[in-house]
Amino acid sequence: MSTPLVDAIITETPPAELLRAVAARMRELADAATPGTWSHNCMGSHGCQVYNDGRLREHKSVAFFGRKEWKADHADAAYVAAFQPAVAKATAQLLDQLAGEADHLGATPLVMYGQEVARAFMDAAGWQAYVMEESAR
């Protein structure tokens, strides 16, 4: 369920502009995240860790899911590892392509699907804080 701010932004912003803004924010977050391919490892009662590259010498922890319930920790870690920065960048590229379609063809069914992806991202990414931060600049 969207927040009123997200609903207002989606309603008032031209589709191409919205898709490009969300794509830019996805790239910004992906570029700031720990680079590399992410993997996960669960250590029984010690929880699950998401880390980059899987190379022990350059092993960098990305996230830790700990000790609530093994199946939930494992599922959370697997999910986060699967949606690493490369996935956000690929999704951003797709949104940019849909923005180009919106420029030429308007709100096609694919563009409208892109808006739903944007809505889900905006809800999950704390868009209200981002908008407030951007407007303060």
**pLDDT value, residue 89:** 94
| Domain presence at residue 77 | yes
| Domain presence at residue 99 | yes
Which tokens hold the place of 135?
A: 């407007």
- pLDDT digits over 25-84, tens only? 999 989 988 887 888 888 777 778 888 875 545 557 788 887 667 777 878 888 888 888
Half-sphere exposure of 99 (CA within 13 A, CB side): 18
| Domains: count for the chain | 2
What does the angle CA 66 – CA 119 – CA 93 come to, to the nearest 5 degrees? 90
| Domain presence at residue 120 | yes
| Domain presence at residue 122 | yes
| Domain presence at residue 137 | no
Helical H segments across 35-124, by residue range: 70-82, 85-105, 109-124
Global confidence as pTM: 0.79
- pLDDT digits over 97-134, tens only? 999 999 999 888 888 889 888 888 887 766 665 665 66
Residues facing 52 on adjacent strands: 38
Same domain (yes/no): 94, 28: yes
Q: Which domain holds residue 64?
A: 38-83
Residues facing 97 on adjacent strands: none
Same domain (yes/no): 48, 76: yes
